[in-house]
């Protein structure tokens, strides 16, 4: 008996249907796999962007710390707390920062999308690594930076003037690290018996070894109301220097070159049209109080009538002779972060501002009130002081001003591979 044609047609249909189903299954599986692969690729691309941006955020956090005056060799290091009194040489963790990047930066409970580790070494090379939330992807950025030198030749005296020095009132000039106090290219005038200079006491128990450390020796009166052997006046060599030569002798660069260098952190232009009073700059309008770790260049006349420059706290004006190595900044619970104030013009000082570092004026200094300088005070013009200011020589504070210069990226120093 012949097979039924109807049955043969049904079998062919079944086979064809199975084939179609298999094709559809393979297409579906292939499409699903492609979608999954594309999703993974898309997620990885997104994660790659996130970790790269996270690594960049780490670089930004390091530069933010630099801007705040944090340094490798200071208490608390770059990322630590100054109250720890520990630097990165003692504990490298103070130059390492770990933080999480969240989906909503404003919401600390939102999902973590990346983690960042930032390390700053003693040469200020920054290494920032961003890692994805699942740990599958990471990106490292390395940045080489440089820091300019502020002081090329450390001054040896508390007060230096290329011209005349006239001090009155109860002015005190103190040098616990040597036997000289004032060096001038012109004459020296004392206007009051209450004015005096002080040098390291040769009868102090640890003299002369104590002169090796700032604020360690006791002092003895050298000159009261008149000039003495501790004062060098009418020095023709000093008087013959130009402003630029005087400046370069201590700072290593001429005035214009230093101003345009990376050392300066705050440049105040000499255009009197933008000066608050139209005649001279009031530095209190430009400086925070306190203002630690600044290299300030003022192109023009300036005045200041209070505040603290070079310390992390606003200090009290009651400092007396110290033999324990501490400055008034230390005594008041702050950290000395030395600064340099450069005025390319005349400087008027009133009230009781406090300076930790160097004040260098390419013009005349007119001072009154109870201001004090811990470091050195220098001028190319006349120095006229009244009231009861104190100028304390401190080589450690002066040397610390090299830490205040700006930290900048080295050309070609960025690597993200």
* Listed residues 143, 172, 195: the one ending a domain: 143
Q: Are residues 229 and 130 in the same domain?
A: no
245: its two tokens: 């030569």
Query: What was the pLDDT predicted at 303?
Result: 92
Return the exposure string of 96-135: e unless at least 16 CB atoms fall within 10 Å of the residue's CB, then b. Answer: bbeeebbeeeeeeeeeebbbbbbbbeeebebbbbbbbbee
Closest CA to 390 of 187, 201, 192, 197: 197
Q: Are residues 378 and 234 in the same domain?
A: yes
Q: Are strands 126-132 and 112-120 parallel, antiparallel or unpaired?
A: antiparallel
* Listed residues 83, 111, 143: the one ending a domain: 143
Quick check: 111 pLDDT over 70? Answer: yes
Q: Are residues 107 and 252 in the same domain?
A: no
Which pLDDT tens digit goes with each residue over 364-402?
999 888 889 999 999 999 998 887 889 999 999 999 999
Q: Domain for residue 47, yes or no?
A: yes
Query: What was the pLDDT predicted at 161?
Result: 94
Q: Domain for residue 138, yes or no?
A: yes
Q: Are residues 98 and 195 in the same domain?
A: no
Q: Domain for residue 149, yes or no?
A: no
Strand partners, 311: 336
Band of residue 194 on the pLDDT scale cut at 50, 70, 90: low
Quick check: 2 pLDDT over 80? Answer: no
Q: Domain for residue 153, yes or no?
A: no
Q: Average of pLDDT values for 189-218? A: 88
Residue 387: is the preceding peptide bond cis (ω within 30°)? no
Q: What is the 3-state secondary structure (H, E, C) of 202-237?
A: CCCCCCCHHHHCCCCCCEEEEEECCCCCCEECCCHH
Query: What was the pLDDT predicted at 132?
Result: 93
Q: Number of structural domains, the chain?
A: 2
Query: What was the pLDDT predicted at 121?
Result: 94
Q: Are residues 287 and 383 in the same domain?
A: yes
Quick check: 273 pLDDT over 70? Answer: no
- Distance between alpha carbon 248 and the CA centroid of its chain, in Å? 22
**3-class secondary structure, 401:** helix
- By mean pLDDT, which of 96-100, 217-221, 355-359, 386-390 is the weakest? 386-390
- Provide the whole-model pTM: 0.80
pLDDT above 90 as % of the chain = 56
Q: Domain for residue 150, yes or no?
A: no
Quick check: 331 pLDDT over 80? Answer: yes
Contact 186, 161 (CB under 8 A): yes
Cα–Cα dist 74/88, whole Å = 8
**3-class secondary structure, 249:** helix
Q: Are residues 89 and 213 in the same domain?
A: no
Q: Which domain holds residue 83?
A: 1-143
Q: Are residues 181 and 68 in the same domain?
A: no
Q: Domain for residue 182, yes or no?
A: yes
Q: Are residues 139 and 201 in the same domain?
A: no
Quick check: 43 pLDDT over 90? Answer: no
Strand partners, 372: 354, 390
Q: Are residues 342 and 281 in the same domain?
A: yes
Band of residue 171 on the pLDDT scale cut at 50, 70, 90: confident
Question: In terms of pLDDT, which residue wins out, 40 or 399?
Answer: 399
For the chain, the first-to-last Cα distance in angstroms comes to: 81
Q: Are residues 191 and 54 in the same domain?
A: no
Q: Are residues 102 and 73 in the same domain?
A: yes
Quick check: 1 pLDDT over 70? Answer: no
Q: Are residues 179 and 81 in the same domain?
A: no
């Amino acid at each position: 008996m012949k097979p039924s044609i109807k049955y043969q047609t049904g079998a062919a249909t079944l086979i064809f249907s199975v084939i179609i189903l298999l094709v559809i299954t393979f297409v579906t599986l292939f499409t699903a796999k492609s979608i999954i692969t594309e999703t993974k690729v898309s997620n990885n691309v997104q994660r790659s962007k996130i970790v790269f941006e996270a690594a960049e955020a780490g670089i930004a956090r390091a530069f933010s710390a630099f801007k705040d005056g944090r340094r490798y060799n200071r208490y608390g290091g770059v990322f630590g707390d100054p109250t720890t009194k520990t630097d990165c040489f003692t504990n490298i963790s103070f130059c390492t920062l770990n933080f999480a990047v969240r989906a909503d930066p404003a919401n600390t409970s939102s999902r973590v999308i990346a983690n960042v580790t930032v390390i700053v070494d003693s040469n200020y090379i920054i290494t920032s690594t961003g890692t994805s939330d699942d740990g599958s992807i990471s990106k490292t950025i390395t940045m080489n930076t440089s820091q300019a030198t502020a002081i090329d030749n450390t001054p040896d005296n508390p007060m230096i003037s290329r011209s005349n020095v006239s001090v009155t009132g109860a002015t005190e000039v103190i040098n616990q690290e040597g036997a000289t106090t004032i060096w001038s290219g012109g004459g020296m005038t004392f206007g009051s018996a209450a004015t005096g200079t002080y040098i390291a006491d040769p009868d102090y128990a640890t003299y002369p070894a104590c002169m090796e450390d700032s604020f360690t020796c006791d002092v003895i009166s050298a000159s009261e109301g008149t000039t003495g052997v501790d004062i060098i006046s009418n020095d023709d060599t000093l008087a013959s220097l130009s402003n630029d030569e005087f400046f370069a002798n201590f700072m290593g660069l001429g005035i214009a070159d230093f101003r345009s260098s990376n050392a300066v952190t705050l440049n105040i232009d000499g255009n009197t049209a933008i000066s608050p009073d139209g005649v001279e700059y009031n530095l209190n309008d430009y400086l925070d109080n306190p203002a630690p770790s600044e290299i300030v260049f003022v192109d023009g006349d300036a005045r200041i009538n209070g505040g603290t420059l070079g310390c992390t706290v606003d200090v009290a004006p009651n400092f007396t002779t110290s033999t324990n190595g501490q400055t008034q900044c230390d005594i008041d619970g702050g950290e000395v972060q030395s600064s340099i104030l450069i005025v390319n013009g005349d400087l008027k000082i009133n009230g009781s501002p406090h300076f930790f570092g160097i004040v260098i004026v390419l013009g005349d200094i007119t001072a009154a009130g109870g201001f004090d300088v811990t470091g050195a005070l220098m001028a190319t013009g006349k120095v006229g002081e009244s009231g009861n200011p104190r100028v304390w020589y401190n080589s450690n504070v002066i040397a610390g001003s090299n830490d205040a210069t700006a930290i900048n990226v080295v050309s070609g120093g960025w690597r993200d591979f």
